[in-house]
Structure 1
Amino acid sequence: MSEKLLIRRVAVLGAGVMGAQIAAQLVNAGIDTVLFDLPAKEGDKNGIVQKAIANLTKLSPAPLGVKSLAEAIVPANYETDLGLLESCDLVIEAIAERMDWKQDLYKKIAPHVPAHAVLASNTSGLGINKLADVLPEELRYRFCGVHFFNPPRYMYLVELIPTKYTDQTVMDGLESFLTTYVGKGVVIGRDTPNFIGNRIGVFSILATMHHTAQSNLGFDTVDALTGPLLGRPKSATYRTADVVGLDTMGHVIKTMADTLPEDPWHQYFAAPAWLKALVDKGALGQKTGAGIYRKVGKDILVLDVAKQDYVAQGDGAAPEVVEILKEKDPAKKFAALRASEHPQAKFLWAIFRDLFHYAAYHLGDIAETARDVDLAIRWGYGWKLGPFETWQAAGWKQVAEWINEDIAAGKAMSSAPLPAWVLSRDGVYSAEGSYSPTQDKVVARSALPVYQRQRFADPVLGEKPVQGKTVWENEGVRLWADDGDDIAVLSFKTKLHTVNDHVLNGVQEAIRIAEKQFKGMVIWQAAEPFSAGADLAGALGLVKDGKIDQFEAMVANFQKTSQAIKYSLVPVVTAVRGLALGGGCEFQMHSAKTVAHLESYIGLVEAGVGLLPAGGGLKEFAVRASQAAGPNGDVFAELKKGFECAAMAKVSTSALDAKELGLMRPGDRVVMNAFELLEIAKAEALAMAEAGYRPPLPARNIRVAGDVGIATFKMMLVNMLEGRFISEYDYELASRIATVICGGEVDRNSTVDEEWLIRLERKHFVELAQQPKTQARIEHMLKTGKPLRN
């Protein structure tokens, strides 16, 4: 067995945009991190780094899971602090993309990099072997490329690129570390310019730009066509360029032109005249307020190249093309695109044809398998399917014939022939794995032990992971388990995993079965979100039909389900990722333990629809406040955070933030890789069971803040009302939340039991549901997805 790569401390060299945000993601993961940059010319030598660290707390989207983590990053400079490198196990260089600067820095730091440490360059496209040339021989085998995508917290992709010297154990160790501890999806690239993601992704953008001009389409029309309609992000093509920065886009295109002179598509590796003109004018996109798009007042205008001015956006995608794109069968969709005479359809066929052609032609040079290319594009560019998956789904042989016809007819961007392997195969994916042109065979996924932790890895075309054997199911949920497993898994079947009667009854029945047949149970969903909360449409229907008794029974059943989770005889662990709102949040509050992916957005959001939390959320805040205050402490002080959370419908910005807000407990676990969530949740449940798990004793002596607490909260609310920060109805809602969380109109420090608090929650919830303003808020949310402030 190879020696395990132990990483206790990491140094990041370069406190620019990427370096600082890589450091932020490392401290999110609980990794001791030192951030280096040049010494400041005046004042504190670490001034440059300190400024960069302070800036991390201001950026949006936030690089840090919680702002307080900024203090965990150790500032350092190359003049006085190189000695700190001697305590580091991994050094990531992330300075500007200049070969000479990077090599000069390597010469400077090499004497201080310990003999066991790994050195990696976060370059987006420079030659890794060439970078290694200046390193002392003993450091070369511990050097490689590690390319994070921007922004490093949110983009799943990291490309690892070995040099001809890099030791395989270093590669395996780093891949395992980045996957589990930093929470990334690793793809191994070859040492070619721009590696995999940007080589294919930027070519796709260049092909789109070329065909935009050929088809005489507007930038906004192209964005309407190349976003969600193709299973790609809303920012599509040109909006993405604005977000990335048109100067950056120009730089990446120039890199391709300079470093790929032999590429058969080389003539297209040039920034269009309009892009150069915008950069020269300083219109660099989002960061300067104008680029391809420009916001004027409330309107977003788009650049019209012919008029050389910004104009109102056009009609977008043509209805007949939208109809083609809605076709579920990929083979029929591509046949229709190719056959259509509509300019937008011709444009779409052209951008796919040239992307497929380019990706196939270069696959052998840039990656081991088609899977590597598809995952790099999905994880780095946010596409639902990569180019090879799209091609194979559309009918490999037929599409290949069409591409060949277009090459012969001179319609394709390049006359380079399709590789022989393309024409000899039926596709690149089969049950055995993905095709490798270098080995001329199908290759299985990596067998590294780290991937055994991913019971459901991100599947590529043809991979259909089976969710164990069904133990029991109803219309709302499915309880399943793997053969011989002691932990059962419960998954919801509803849209957005909302909670309705079938789910409530299903959770209760699943717990009864788990208590008899298993050692524990995990509530886990195969895809995000964990749960968007209660089924509002169904609940509103009951109230509108005057079926208040049925509505109250549903609320009571919700509370009964939360209590069943809390008092189950076997541990119920919630595995949360994405949204866990309202009832979804309350389920995890009642579980024996929550295991949450860093990107979990948890909150009691009922106030946004004119209600208050009534699945036991306010009751739990009251119980926890009483326990935290102990027999003599100040219960009211402990309640403040919970009250603010519920009254302001706060949603955590991460799982770490959910802990700070008190929505998760100190002992709950935060997981970096979403695909390891189930494995870790099951391990936690089993560990609790093996340690002789018992549910908590019923909370019978809950000390509450009572009437004095309610009055104090109301005083705060009156100030907000008078300052017009809240509406009169917000005041009404928040007053009721205060009443429940403080235990009702009883004397301060009175003791109540859980049943008392549950009844209070239910009473106010049912009364609010009958108010016209609450019903208006619910209807507005159902129609628009946005809260109404009435």
Structure 2
Amino acid sequence: MNRNISKVAVLGSGIMGSRIACHFANIGVEVLLLDIAPKELLPEEQAKGLTLESDVVKNRIVNAALQNTLKSNPSPVYSKSVVHKITTGNFTTDMSKIAQCDWVIEVVVENLEVKKTVFEQVEKYRRPGTLITSNTSGIPIHMMEEGRSEDFKAHFCGTHFFNPPRYLRLLEIIPTKDTKKEVVDFLMEYGDKFLGKTTVLCKDTPAFIANRVGVYSIMALLHSVEKLNLTVEEVDKYTGPALGRPKSATFRTSDVVGLDTMIKVAKGLYDNCPEDKAHDLFKLPTYVEKMAENNWLGDKTKQGFYKKIKNAEGKSEILALDLKTLEYKPQQKVKSATLEMTKTIDKVADRMKVFAAAKDKAGELFRTSFFGLFEYVSDRIPEISDELYRIDDAMRAGFAWELGPFEVWDAVGVKEAIEGMKAYGHEAAAWVHEMLDAGFTTFYRIENGVSQYYDIPSKSYKNVPGAEDLIILDHLRATKTIYKNAGASIIDLGDGILNVEFHSKMNTIGGDTLQAINKAIDLAEKEYRGVVIGNDGGNFSAGANVGMIFMMAVEQEWYELNMAIRMFQNTSMRIRYSAVPVVVAPFNLTLGGGCEFSLHADHVQMSAETYMGLVEFGVGVIPGGGGTKEFALRAGDELKDDQIAQNTLKERFLTIGTAKVSTSAQEAIELGYIQKEKAGITMNRSRLLADAKAKAIELADAGYTKPVQRKDIKVLGNHGLGIVYAGANSMHAGNYISEHDQKISEKLGYVMCGGDLSAPTEVSEQYLLDLEREAFLQLCTERKTLERIQSIITKGKPLRN
């Protein structure tokens, strides 16, 4: 059957409920958010003469919870404009409204009896066929459906979102024996394509997949720390980005999530998994028990494994907990030969063998942790999953590991790891030995660009479901690369579409990148149909290579710098004015030059999580790759006879002048970086390149024609310059901006107004590009600009001088 989700009811407005409601609003779904009505009046409510029957009182709990969530950082919403999609109410008055909803999600307290009571109410009002799911993280799903109708059971299952649901990509789907297959299939697809999740099918086992494996991994490490005599700082250094884990690593993550949360899940596993070989590991180490007694639970109690204080000089300092004495001490720098060796290895998978063979503490912790983890995950099949790839998917999406356990095992070497495991008292499950005996040496392989996994029952490799729909450049690079230089590659995506992939540090843009983009467009105009500019890195692009700009400016190589800026501008213009469609696929950080490429694309297929901005003010210049020109062009197009012209210019001017960076793709559209008619948003980052390629094909099939450069751009000349200069002067006089900020502002205004023109005039794009380049060069001659660039290069921080 066809099923559409236009309205969702979320029952329970706590931290998770409110955030789940916000994420559904993010994707355009109407949300009814309900919670209990208060049983007592507050003093201020009594003073106003309100009663428990007053609507404002009845909805006090749900409204307060939602407002607290909306104030949280990072924001749970893509834009403030989506909040109107959420309607609040209470269980007493508004439960009947769930009859209008297509999906009811229960997110009340983790208490089986409370949940059953809520479901009794749900059963009274829900329409037959309406989806009903629980977001429980610990209560068995089948226990919640006891006593419910056949229709309820057929449409009921667990949908376990991870917190915060906007940012953590995992959604575990946990059906019961009564759940219809079509319901499960729908939720798996909906979570993937619409909610942007990695949807993982789980069995109804304690803690499901991610928390079962993740908490085992954490608890095993907590016990190992004492044996290996490691400090908090050492563990977080060894288990952070070098290992493909978040910067917060282990202990810092625990502080953010809350030690009580980990303790609760660990206790649940200890109580509910008595047959687990690792049962005793779920018992808390003594130092964790003492931390819990002291209420040192992390950020929520202001101290955990770390504690922030004001030192004697009044500066903030973060202390680390000494796990032996349970006293807080200044953090010590961690040195490691292994970490130094891995700095030069870009691919996380290639670092695994280095860690596995290392002789220092980092190597010992790796072997102690992972050899046990390899045994644990192999033993969990088929208990928690029949397929090994689901375990890896859950750990990558739920715990932000770059590689799942079986992927790490592959990287170390399956056979080699088994030999190492024996020395540490661990043994792989029988099916792993059978796999090796049958001649299969890895858990995964790539076949014709598609990821395959080892399927245990059939003793053969099978495609990872849905993998054929994705484009993973790593799987194509070896056979489909048609050009490569130090900064970028051109990869044939098939169907006449080429992809330009950046692979410099932070995907910064230099001459190599520009060369590759131009070459790709040249090739496409002769032999292909379109170009996608996208990559699989951590960020789309941090912008132009400011180190190169700094060196040229310091050496006063003005001719070379002028040519470099001109090449950047020409490349942006080539993206717009080529004979084939060019689609840019930004995600995460898309700053400076990365933003300017997006401004000039025929279409921008953005990841929902795209943080886009023209941030050149921070390094003392204006956007010089066509960004200032483009904002002047758009301001001119937005001028209307019935509006004050300067107001339109002002909005565009301030977006650049305040270096605004969008907090989402939606906000990138609202800030005017991307024009709505040229924008597409992909919820699931894994699908971004495939969606961008599909759009390039669509544009080509529609009979793409090369656009004509503009010569009719309205600029205000001196009419607008006076306003810009007066505004910059008053901001400086009020100490809101520095003298150098004032100078940059005036240069920006000069370009956006078209220069020293006596009256509003129509000019060409090239005229504005020349002004933009001249202003950029002039600012590069300023000492304070060079100081700003140097601060970014050496400290990674903007300088406001």
Q: TM-score, normalised by structure 2?
A: 0.90
What is the 5 A alignment of 1:563-574? Answer: 563-574=573-584
- Which of 380, 388, 392 lines up with 1:362 in the alignment? 380
1:8 maps to 2:6: yes
Secondary structure of 2:276's partner?
coil
Cα separation, partners in 2 of 1:396 and 1:476, compared to 1, 3 Å: closer
Secondary structure of 1:267's partner?
helix
Aligned to 1:630: 640
What is the 5 A alignment of 1:141-160? Answer: 141-160=154-173
Pairwise CA distance, 1:471: 5.7
Aligned to 1:176: 189
Cα separation, partners in 2 of 1:482 and 1:34, compared to 1, 3 Å: same
1:319 maps to 2:306: no
The answer (yes or no) to whether the contact 1:709–1:748 under 8 Å persists in 2 is no
- Which of 766, 774, 796 lines up with 1:755 in the alignment? 766
One-letter amino acid of the structure 1 residue matched with residue 789 of structure 2: I
The answer (yes or no) to whether the contact 2:239–2:245 under 8 Å persists in 1 is yes
1:186 maps to 2:195: no
Aligned to 1:778: 789
Secondary structure of 1:719's partner?
helix
Aligned to 2:287: 274
> 1 CA distance for matches of 2:503 and 2:306?
41
Cα separation, partners in 2 of 1:748 and 1:53, compared to 1, 3 Å: farther
- CA deviations over 1:337-375 (Å, ceiling 9, x no partner): 4xx4x5664444222222222222223201122211122
Aligned to 2:42: none
Pairwise CA distance, 1:476: 5.0
- Which of 406, 414, 421 lines up with 2:424 in the alignment? 406
Aligned to 1:333: 354
The answer (yes or no) to whether the contact 1:625–1:635 under 8 Å persists in 2 is no
Aligned to 2:727: 716
The answer (yes or no) to whether the contact 1:231–1:383 under 8 Å persists in 2 is yes
- CA deviations over 1:662-681 (Å, ceiling 9, x no partner): 11112212211112222222
Pairwise CA distance, 1:377: 1.1
The answer (yes or no) to whether the contact 1:700–1:753 under 8 Å persists in 2 is yes
Aligned to 2:453: 434
> 1 CA distance for matches of 2:471 and 2:319?
46
- Which of 471, 482, 501 lines up with 1:455 in the alignment? 471
Secondary structure of 1:236's partner?
coil
Aligned to 1:652: 662
1:579 maps to 2:581: no
> 2 CA distance for matches of 1:397 and 1:510?
42
1:592 maps to 2:602: yes
What is the 5 A alignment of 1:192-341? Answer: 192-297=205-310, 298-316=316-334, 318-320=335-337, 322=339, 333=354, 336-337=357-358, 340=359
Pairwise CA distance, 1:203: 0.7
Q: TM-score, normalised by structure 1?
A: 0.91
Aligned to 2:368: 350
Aligned to 2:395: 377
Pairs aligned (count):
767
Cα separation, partners in 2 of 1:782 and 1:360, compared to 1, 3 Å: same
Q: CA RMSD in A?
A: 2.5
Aligned to 1:640: 650
Structure 2 stretches lacking a partner, 5+ long = 40-51, 311-315
- Which of 702, 706, 723 lines up with 1:691 in the alignment? 702
Secondary structure of 1:363's partner?
coil
- Greater shift, 280-289 or 22-31, is seen at 280-289
The answer (yes or no) to whether the contact 2:355–2:363 under 8 Å persists in 1 is no
- Which of 751, 768, 773 lines up with 2:779 in the alignment? 768
Secondary structure of 1:139's partner?
helix
The answer (yes or no) to whether the contact 1:468–1:482 under 8 Å persists in 2 is no
Pairwise CA distance, 1:612: 0.6
> 2 CA distance for matches of 1:331 and 1:619?
47
Secondary structure of 2:71's partner?
coil
Aligned to 1:28: 26
> 1 CA distance for matches of 2:606 and 2:646?
28
- Which of 499, 508, 515 lines up with 2:509 in the alignment? 499
Pairwise CA distance, 1:508: 3.1
One-letter amino acid of the structure 2 residue matched with residue 674 of structure 1: R
- Greater shift, 646-655 or 393-402, is seen at 393-402
One-letter amino acid of the structure 1 residue matched with residue 185 of structure 2: D
Cα separation, partners in 2 of 1:120 and 1:707, compared to 1, 3 Å: same
- Which of 642, 650, 670 lines up with 2:681 in the alignment? 670
Cα separation, partners in 2 of 1:705 and 1:278, compared to 1, 3 Å: farther
One-letter amino acid of the structure 1 residue matched with residue 398 of structure 2: G
One-letter amino acid of the structure 2 residue matched with residue 6 of structure 1: N
The answer (yes or no) to whether the contact 2:543–2:594 under 8 Å persists in 1 is yes
> 2 CA distance for matches of 1:468 and 1:544?
42
Aligned to 1:609: 619
The answer (yes or no) to whether the contact 1:5–1:170 under 8 Å persists in 2 is no
> 1 CA distance for matches of 2:140 and 2:498?
49
- Greater shift, 755-764 or 692-701, is seen at 692-701
The answer (yes or no) to whether the contact 1:327–1:333 under 8 Å persists in 2 is no
> 1 CA distance for matches of 2:575 and 2:343?
41
The answer (yes or no) to whether the contact 1:618–1:741 under 8 Å persists in 2 is yes
Cα separation, partners in 2 of 1:32 and 1:296, compared to 1, 3 Å: same
The answer (yes or no) to whether the contact 1:531–1:579 under 8 Å persists in 2 is yes
One-letter amino acid of the structure 1 residue matched with residue 279 of structure 2: H
- Which of 542, 550, 569 lines up with 2:552 in the alignment? 542
Calculate percent identity across the aligned residue pairs: 37
- CA deviations over 1:413-469 (Å, ceiling 9, x no partner): xxxx643223333355143733455x2634524546xx5542339x8xxxx345874
The answer (yes or no) to whether the contact 1:15–1:35 under 8 Å persists in 2 is yes
The answer (yes or no) to whether the contact 1:160–1:188 under 8 Å persists in 2 is yes
Pairwise CA distance, 1:179: 0.5
Cα separation, partners in 2 of 1:695 and 1:465, compared to 1, 3 Å: closer
Aligned to 1:529: 539
> 1 CA distance for matches of 2:428 and 2:464?
28
Cα separation, partners in 2 of 1:471 and 1:142, compared to 1, 3 Å: same
- Greater shift, 680-689 or 666-675, is seen at 680-689
Secondary structure of 1:79's partner?
helix
Pairwise CA distance, 1:687: 2.9
The answer (yes or no) to whether the contact 1:12–1:33 under 8 Å persists in 2 is yes
1:397 maps to 2:418: no
Cα separation, partners in 2 of 1:493 and 1:209, compared to 1, 3 Å: closer
Pairwise CA distance, 1:280: 3.5
Aligned to 1:552: 562
One-letter amino acid of the structure 1 residue matched with residue 380 of structure 2: H
- Greater shift, 289-298 or 384-393, is seen at 384-393
> 2 CA distance for matches of 1:236 and 1:258?
27
Pairwise CA distance, 1:183: 0.5
Cα separation, partners in 2 of 1:71 and 1:332, compared to 1, 3 Å: closer
Pairwise CA distance, 1:154: 0.9
The answer (yes or no) to whether the contact 1:388–1:428 under 8 Å persists in 2 is no
> 1 CA distance for matches of 2:116 and 2:772?
65
One-letter amino acid of the structure 1 residue matched with residue 562 of structure 2: E
Secondary structure of 1:678's partner?
helix
One-letter amino acid of the structure 1 residue matched with residue 92 of structure 2: E
Secondary structure of 2:609's partner?
strand
Aligned to 2:90: 77
Aligned to 2:313: none
> 2 CA distance for matches of 1:497 and 1:336?
30
Aligned to 1:515: 525
Structure 1 stretches lacking a partner, 5+ long = none
Cα separation, partners in 2 of 1:121 and 1:743, compared to 1, 3 Å: same
> 1 CA distance for matches of 2:478 and 2:10?
40
